[in-house]
A = this chain, B = another copy of it.
Amino acid sequence: MAITDRIADRIADQITDLDGLRDALREFAAARNWPQYHTPKNLSMALIKEAAEIVEHFQWATAEESRQLTPQQKAEVADEIADVLMYLVRLADVLTIDPLDAARQKIIKNAVKYPALKSD
């Protein structure tokens, strides 16, 4: 069994939710001596760089074109979405922030700030 297959199998088992992703990224960084570089400041920079990679995919597209990606384009954007998610989860981890909990709190705030057109 090739090493890639073993890694893939273990990762598929481990990453079933955001906490699993957080743990996998924490181990991944530790095994490469990266935690010294993973300050919140540096991670915020890596995060926005990856967000810009998504923006780049759509910068010359019309609204309509941005909705209709080819399978190849979709795979590329998925790759960038993965990068943003991974840096976001890693940033949250080093700051001991739970991103899902933060999202819950923010949606409650937004529900008050932007009332629904009708009862939602």
Chain A residues engaging chain B, CB cutoff 8 angstroms: 4, 7-8, 11-12, 15-18, 21, 24-25, 27-28, 30-33, 37, 39-42, 44-49, 51-64, 66-67, 69, 74, 77-79, 81-86, 88, 91-92, 94-95, 97, 99-100, 102-108, 110-112, 114, 116-118, 120
Q: Complex formed: what's the CA distance from A57 to B46 in Å?
A: 10
Shortest 3 CB-CB contacts between residues of A and residues of B: A52-B52, A31-B120, A41-B66
Greatest chain B CB density within 10 A among A25, A44, A61, A91 is at: A44
Q: Is A84's CB under 8 angstroms from B95's CB? A: no
Q: Complex formed: what's the CA distance from A81 to B51 in Å?
A: 13
A111 proximity list for chain B (CB < 8 A)? 4, 7, 11, 28
Q: Is B116's CB under 8 angstroms from A102's CB? A: no
Q: Is B66's CB under 8 angstroms from A55's CB? A: no
Q: Complex formed: what's the CA distance from A13 to B97 in Å?
A: 20
